[in-house]
Amino acid sequence: MSLSRWFRSPRIFLLVYQRVAAHWRAIVLLLILACVAFLVTRSAEFGRFELILLALLLIFIASQIFWLGRLVDVGERFIPGRPRRVWLAIMTVVVYLFVLLDSYPEWGLGHTIRAADYRPQSVLIHAAFWWWFVGSMSAFLLVIAFGAADRGVRAAGWVYRKARTAIHQRPAAADAEAPLLSRARRRFLERAAVLVSATPFVAASYGLLYERQNVEVVRQRVRLARLPKAFEGFRIVQLSDIHLGPFTTADYIRRCVAITNGLGPDLIALTGDYICWDPEAQGEVVQVLASLRAPHGVFGCLGNHEADVGIEDSITRLFAAQGMRMLRQERVPIRLRDDTLNLIGIDDGGDVAPEHTQEVERDRRLQRLKALVMPNTVNILLTHYPAVFGDPELGIDLTLAGDIHGGGQLSLDFIHRGLNLGSLMGVPYIRGLYKNGGEQLYMNRGIGITGFPIRIGARPEITVLELTRET
Ligand SMILES: [Fe+2]
């Protein structure tokens, strides 16, 4: 048989499909083992982050095989005329591959969605892809957990029945009812499994359609022991991770700007990531942010997205033309009557060059910062990611940062603190206020998104930081 006929033959496809569907657990295990072997041989080049990404990839592959199998099951059951499984499998895989390849344009564009791609149909397909991505992976994990719990209960029941038989020396009379109970139990379990697996898809819909732009105004009092008297009650409103793009539109950012102005800020702080991946979006985002108003000015720092696409200089000039100042390894005195605060800003710098270890990079930033800190003054630092937080000798009183999007936009912190994507990746600072001796850090959840256009348990945030000397 020629190769083309081989591929065209439905029987061969069915055989391959059946083998994959029947042995998907073994295939995933083999993939894991192969990747682990690869990582062990090259362990010096991989860290925790890469391992987590690998685990996510493997979970994604396993979940897609699982859900394709379930889709074929559903088709077999509900499509009139009971179509042959092989055709259903072919149709399902073809539709799946088409949607997968068509709905993730970054694959072809090196992570850049150009402004020309903000067409409604692209946005819709993109949204559907990410809804499926988040929903199917989470549901798969829940189904696995549900199955494991069911097996645990069954094993406990088996042990209990054996023990009871041994003690009473007779097969339990109740065992006659077993088949009946088993059928009822199976029906209950099937319904429960459907309910459990549907929950993540409902949650993903909520996160995509509602929570993604359900902005929360967070009011946070920050006690600074050496705050000058004139600054008692001084209000800094912080915006972070704007990410203008197809899912964080100019209209939505305008709404955030209006909310910010309505909060009566004394000073506005922007902590980086103004675009997603498209350098052409810089003009529009600056134009929208130009409506921000505060008597002591609008200041900011740059994020990794500005560095990664090489627009640090150009966006700084655009901001400056609108009267907003990006602090790039700079400080500015904020004066009120006879008192002064020292406001510092540093670049994120984006991806660290491979020849730099993280320690070297951290030391370099520390040295830069030391020159900007003013003794006997309250020093407030704007930085996209707080890489230098926690050095008592530095003399920073308060750091304002963002970057983590409230735990990678997916967080179940309301169940258990630390149950979020960011913590899973080993990020130490996720959201809210952190204290380390005399130094404090506020982690803003941001107002925009990158990657999947979904937020669950991590609402967008505008923060009002009220400075005080009082306890
Ligand atoms: Fe960001």
pLDDT for 217-257, tens place per residue? Answer: 999 999 999 999 999 999 999 999 999 988 999 999 999 99
Kindly give the distance from the C-alpha atom of residue 303 to the centroid of ligand 1, in angstroms, as a whole number.
Answer: 7
User: In angstroms, what is the span from residue 408 Cα to ligand 1's centroid?
Assistant: 9
- Going from the Cα of 172 to the center of ligand 1, the distance in angstroms, rounded, reads 62
Q: Which two tokens stand for residue 291?
A: 């409506």
Distance 157 CA to ligand 1 centre (A): 49
Distance 221 CA to ligand 1 centre (A): 24
- CA 246 to ligand 1 center in whole angstroms: 15
pLDDT on residue 393: 81
- Ligand 1 centroid to 34 CA: how many Å? 33
Q: How far is CA 280 from CA 114, 274, 285, 386, 453, in A?
A: 8, 12, 10, 27, 20
CB 233 within 8 A of CB 469: no
CA distances from 105 to 53, 118, 205, 404, 448 (A): 20, 11, 21, 24, 20
288 CA → ligand 1 middle, Å:
18
CA of residue 126 to ligand 1 center, whole Å: 19
Q: How far is the CA of 456 from the centre of ligand 1 (A)?
A: 16
Q: In what order do the strands lie in the sheet with 339-345?
A: 330-336, 339-345, 378-382, 398-401, 439-443, 432-436
The pair of structure tokens assigned to 390 is 């926690």
Distances (CA, A) of 344 to 78, 264, 333, 368: 63, 22, 9, 11
Q: What is the whole-number distance in angstroms between the Cα of residue 200 and the centre of ligand 1?
A: 24
- CA of 449 from ligand 1 middle (Å) equals 7
Report CA(247)–ligand 1 centroid distance (Å): 13
Provide the residue type at 275 as one letter: I
If one counts every other C-beta atom within 10 angstroms of the C-beta of residue 304, the result is: 17
What distance in Å separates the CA atoms of residue 250 and residue 255, rounded to the nearest whole number?
Answer: 9
Could you say which residues of the chain have pLDDT below 50?
1-3, 7, 107-116
Q: Order of strands, edge to edge, in the sheet holding 325-326?
A: 216-223, 461-468, 235-239, 267-271, 298-301, 325-326
Label each residue of the chain as H, E or C.
Answer: CCHHHHHHCHHHHHHHHHHHHHCHHHHHHHHHHHHHHHHHHCHHHCCHHHHHHHHHHHHHHHHHHHHHHHHHHHHHHHCCCCCCHHHHHHHHHHHHHHHHHHCCCHHHHCCCCCHHHCCHHHHHHHHHHHHHHHHHHHHHHHHHHHHHHHHHHHHHHHHHHHHHHHHHCCCCHHHHHHHHHHHHHHHHHHHHHHHHHHHHHHHHHHHHHCHHHCCEEEEEEEECCCCCHHHCCCEEEEECCCCEECCECHHHHHHHHHHHHHCCCCEEEEECCCECCCHHHHHHHHHHHCCCCCCCCEEEECCHHHHHCCCHHHHHHHHHHCCCEECCCEEEEEEECCEEEEEEECCCCCCCCCCCCHHHHHHHHHHHHHCCCCCCCEEEEECCCCCCCCCCCCCCCEEEECCCHHHHCEECCCCCCCCEHHHHCCCCCCCEEEEECCEEEEECCCCCCCCCCCCECCCCEEEEEEEECCC
Distance 169 CA to ligand 1 centre (A): 67
| Assigned token pair, 361 | 């990079």
Span from the CA of 14 to the centroid of ligand 1 (angstroms)? 44
Q: Give the distance (Å) from ligand 1 centre to CA of residue 348.
A: 11
| 138 C-alpha to ligand 1 centroid (Å) | 23
Torsions phi, psi for 179 (to 5 deg): -60, -40
Distance 440 CA to ligand 1 centre (A): 21
What is d(CA 460, CA 450) in angstroms, rounded to the nearest whole number?
Answer: 12
CA of 451 to the centre of ligand 1 (A): 10
User: How far does the centroid of ligand 1 lie from the alpha carbon of residue 164, in Å?
Assistant: 59
**344 beta partners:** 331, 381
* 409 Cα: distance to centroid of ligand 1 (angstroms): 10
CA of 448 to the centre of ligand 1 (A): 7
Which class for 306: exposed (0-12), middle (13-18), buried (19 or more C-beta within 10 A)? buried
Ligand 1: centre distance to CA 304 (Å)? 8
Residue 405 CA to ligand 1 center (angstroms) comes to: 6
Report the alpha-carbon distance of residue 112 to residue 110 in Å, rounded.
Answer: 6
CA of 232 to the centre of ligand 1 (A): 31
Cα–ligand 1 centroid distance for 403 (angstroms) = 4
Alpha carbon of 432 to ligand 1 centroid (Å): 16
The CA 371 to ligand 1 mean position distance, Å, reads 27
Q: What is the Å distance from ligand 1's center to 233 Cα?
A: 29
Tell how far the Cα of 466 is from the centroid of ligand 1, in angstroms. Answer: 24
What's the pLDDT at 107?
A: 47
Q: What is the largest CA-CA distance in the chain?
A: 92
Distance CA 325, CA 313 (A): 12
- The confidence score (pLDDT) of residue 110 equals 39
Q: What's the rounded Cα separation, in Å, for the pair 328 and 127?
A: 35
List Cβ neighbours of 9 (8 Å cut-off, separation of 6 or more): 1
Give the pLDDT confidence of 331-367 residue by residue, as tens digits: 999 999 999 999 999 998 765 555 556 677 777 778 8
Q: For residue 417, what pLDDT is reported?
A: 83
